[in-house]
């Protein structure tokens, strides 16, 4: 595969929405009158579980020594009478999930879990959300640093006449004990994402940069750019393809990837189109589910921390062949949703471009901001992404991305805007100390990041890694 750098796009966001509007107007739409007399509105009140981040059904928590998560009982409409119930540890919830998704997640030891107020939950007449119940947990020497455990919770309603389905009454907390691992967490909480063109750059270069005062690594996450989604003409299936450079890093993870993870960095595999009929935005629902399971197998095999979806370089076909659909934001959202369902403990990241730029509709009732961990802006993009991924917190939004190879550097004032606005991440692409523009461009850019985002000073050890494969 030749080098494929992400392209710089300069269109304003208003162009995107204007273009979408004009495209829609090109189609003839006939709207007839609909007889609504046969519609029925349910009088029942349905309950569900939700956490303090607005995520339903499941959430992921990393903790050191001890951790907690806040759960609430929500209602589809205001309670007509007082509601009372309890949250309890219930392994059957996890067993059902493992069976449905063909996974083998281990239950977190019940004796290490406590529920505030013995798990009691209550809502008064006219309320639609309970007070929060803290689910707390502690570490134990026997817990593995390499295993993601699950705390299965079941809500039991004792009074109040609300309906709770098996699915809505369960909640899965995927917890990872990182007490034995170093971390990259800086005081401001902002994450630096290093998306690396690994065809010619050694990812170990991320070890070269730390902060003087905190002594933390500058980089929190490394994206290997990029693996591909490919189509197999013989089997008719899509699969993960890695070019020789990416595959070499995966096959030699102990040398190239583990040292980064040992410093607390996350390793994420990019998934990009590769000039055939398959792409991240045209998989039929069942095809997306199958591909999501393959992505999980790849992440598990190479101990990766997640995937990054980028809708570029696909040759979408019209009409779509069997197993595919017309490329759309909804199809891209479905793949991301199925990937999160298949591996809730892994990061699901998207590039704000193409069909992954925005997911306006929920998937199976789940808002996209709940299953996308990071939305990463195209170069220079700095608007709030909540409209692109409904329900996404600011902590998951990566603003003002920089492209180091093409010298698209961010000035200090936009970094200050990122920090002052409460946004949680920033991406740099194609960082490489071996390039000719390192001292005049890349290093000053990272010094600005250290200064503006972390009130710190960049430390470069002067020992860059070359490509040695």
Active-site positions read: 312
Instruction: Give the DSSP H or E segment for 100.
Output: helix 91-101
456 Cβ partners below 8 Å, 6+ apart?
186, 211, 212, 213, 214, 450
Give the three-class secondary structure for 23.
helix
- What sections of 328-431 are H helices per DSSP? 329-342, 368-371, 412-420
Give the three-class secondary structure for 262.
helix
Please report, for residues 5, 73, 77, 258, the alpha-carbon distance to residue 302 in angstroms, rounded to integers and kept in the order given.
24, 38, 45, 10
Q: Which residues of 64-73 are buried (b: 16+ CB within 10 A; e: fewer)?
A: eeebebebbb
Query: d(Cα 427, Cα 264) in Å, to the nearest integer?
Result: 17
Please identify which residue in the block is written with the tokens 């917190």. 393
Please identify which residue in the block is written with the tokens 């985002």. 453
Tokens matching residue 468: 């040695």
Please identify which residue in the block is written with the tokens 């994450």. 191
């Amino acid at each position: 595969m030749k080098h494929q750098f992400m392209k710089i796009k300069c269109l304003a966001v208003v162009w995107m929405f204007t273009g979408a509007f004009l495209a829609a107007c090109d189609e003839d739409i006939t709207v007839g009158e609909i007889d609504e007399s046969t519609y029925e509105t349910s009088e029942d009140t349905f309950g569900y579980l939700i956490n303090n981040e607005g995520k339903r059904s499941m959430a992921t928590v990393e903790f050191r020594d001890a951790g907690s998560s806040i759960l609430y009982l929500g209602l589809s409409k205001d309670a007509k009478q007082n509601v009372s119930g309890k949250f309890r540890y219930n392994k059957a919830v996890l067993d059902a999930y493992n069976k449905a998704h063909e996974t083998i997640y281990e239950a977190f030891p019940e004796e290490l879990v406590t529920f505030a107020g013995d798990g009691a939950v209550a809502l008064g007449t006219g309320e639609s959300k309970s007070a929060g119940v803290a689910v707390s947990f502690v570490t134990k020497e026997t817990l593995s640093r390499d295993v993601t455990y699950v705390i299965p919770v079941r809500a039991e309603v004792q009074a109040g006449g609300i309906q709770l389905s098996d699915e809505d009454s369960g909640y899965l907390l995927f917890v990872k004990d990182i007490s034995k691992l170093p971390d990259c967490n800086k005081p401001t909480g902002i994450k630096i994402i290093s998306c690396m063109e690994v065809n010619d750059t050694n990812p170990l270069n991320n070890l070269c940069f730390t902060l003087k005062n905190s002594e933390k690594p500058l980089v929190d996450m490394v994206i290997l750019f990029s693996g591909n989604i490919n189509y197999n003409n013989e089997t008719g299936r899509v699969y993960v393809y890695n070019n020789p450079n990416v595959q070499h890093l995966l096959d030699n993870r102990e040398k190239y990837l583990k040292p980064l993870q040992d410093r607390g960095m996350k390793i994420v595999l990019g998934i990009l189109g590769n000039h055939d009929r398959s792409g991240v935005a045209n998989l039929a629902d069942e095809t997306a589910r199958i591909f999501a399971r393959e992505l999980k197998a790849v992440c598990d095999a190479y101990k990766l921390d997640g995937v990054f979806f980028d809708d570029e370089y696909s040759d979408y076909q019209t009409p779509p062949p069997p197993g595919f659909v017309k490329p759309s934001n909804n199809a891209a959202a479905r793949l991301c949703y199925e990937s999160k369902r298949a591996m809730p403990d892994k990061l699901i990241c998207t590039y704000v471009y193409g069909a992954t730029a925005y997911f306006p509709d929920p998937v199976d009732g789940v808002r996209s901001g709940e299953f996308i961990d990071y939305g990463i802006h195209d170069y220079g993009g700095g608007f709030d992404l909540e409209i692109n991924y409904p329900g996404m917190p600011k902590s998951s939004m990566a603003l003002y991305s920089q492209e180091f190879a093409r010298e698209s550097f961010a000035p200090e004032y936009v970094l200050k805007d990122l920090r002052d606005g409460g946004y949680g991440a920033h991406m740099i692409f194609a960082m490489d100390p071996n390039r000719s523009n390192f001292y005049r461009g890349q290093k000053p850019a990272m010094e600005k990041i250290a200064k503006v985002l972390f009130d710190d000073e960049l430390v470069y050890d002067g020992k860059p890694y070359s490509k040695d494969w």
